[in-house]
Amino acid sequence: MALPKYPELKKSLESMILKYFEDQAREELGPFKDVRRFQQHEGRMLVHNTQDDTDRRKETTFKEAKVDYAIKYEDLVKMKPENVLALVKEKAAEFGGQQARINYQVLHETTEETGNVVDANGQPMSIDLFLDTVSKISISFDKFGNPQMPTMVIHPSQSEIYRKLIEDAEHDEGAKKRMEAIIAEKKKEYYAEQASRKLVD
């Protein structure tokens, strides 16, 4: 089998296209885009311990995300660079969308299993429900003791409801005091957790 002409150029182009594919796919991940990640090169599942119960082993089975495409030779020879990038971008968006749906599915399964859920029982969102939700969330703090509030994901149709809710909460003294109490409790939990980690290390 004959070697391709300009093998180094071919390798560089492949690397650039793959990087472009990965970057475009990550744009579809929304709040999961900046989540820490690692590569596991062997096995069919991930075995780990939960943060709240170090003696309990958890098993996570990998889920598949893939995209298929085929190009006829007669079409390939007519393609311009912008056509190639458009195809890569289209397939990357499809792949990233699959990853996002998998992440939401795993997040849903995890919260249901741990009971870390606030059920509104069909009631409209209110300040109390919002604060109940915040009380269920793990919050970290920076070196100055400032809370690093996590990203909250809502449906676009609810954006105006939440905007008004937060605006009302800022003028509600009772809500402000409850939020301060929640943050104070979360800070105690955070520093206790950090202290226990240092003892283990």
Span 85-138, pLDDT tens digits: 999 999 999 999 999 999 888 888 877 777 777 777 777 888 888 888 888 888
- 100, 145: one domain: no
Shared domain for 19 and 95, answered yes or no, is yes
Do both 19 and 92 map to the same domain?
yes
Residue 58: per-residue pLDDT: 75
**Residue 2 located in a structural domain:** no
Position 121 in a domain = no
Q: Total structural domains in the chain?
A: 2
In order, the DSSP letters of 83-145 are: HHHHHHHHHHHHHHHHHHHHHHHHHHHHHHHHT-----TTPPP-HHHHHHHHHHS--EE-TTS
**How far is 76 from 70, CA to CA, in rounded Å?**
10
Per the structure block, which two tokens stand in for 132? Answer: 């109940």
16 and 110 co-located in one domain:
yes
- Asked if the structure places residue 70 within a domain, the reply is yes
Nearest to 89 by CA among 32, 12, 34, 20: 20
Is 26 among the domain residues?
Answer: yes
Q: What is the pLDDT of residue 1?
A: 47
Once rounded to an integer, what is the mean pLDDT over residues 148-165?
Answer: 83
Indicate if 102 and 137 belong to the same structural domain. no
Does any domain span residue 122? Answer: no
User: What's this model's pTM, rounded to 2 decimal places?
Assistant: 0.65
Q: Distance between CA atoms of 9 and 163, rounded to whole angstroms?
A: 51
Residue range(s) defining the domain that contains residue 38: 8-114
Could you give the percent of the chain with pLDDT greater than 90?
A: 31
Instruction: Please report, as a single letter, which amino acid is at residue 29.
Output: L
pLDDT tens digit string along 9-48? Answer: 888 989 999 999 999 999 999 888 877 777 777 777 777 6
Length of the chain: 201
- Residue 50 has a CB neighbour count (10 Å cut-off) of 13
Is 64 inside a domain boundary?
Answer: yes
Residue 22 included in any domain: yes
Contact 139, 148 (CB under 8 A): yes
If phi over 0 gives left and psi between -120 and 50 gives alpha, with beta otherwise, what is residue 42? beta
Domain end marker among 114, 142, 157 = 114
Region class of 110: left (phi > 0), else alpha (psi between -120 and 50), else beta: alpha
Residue 113: its pLDDT value, please? 75
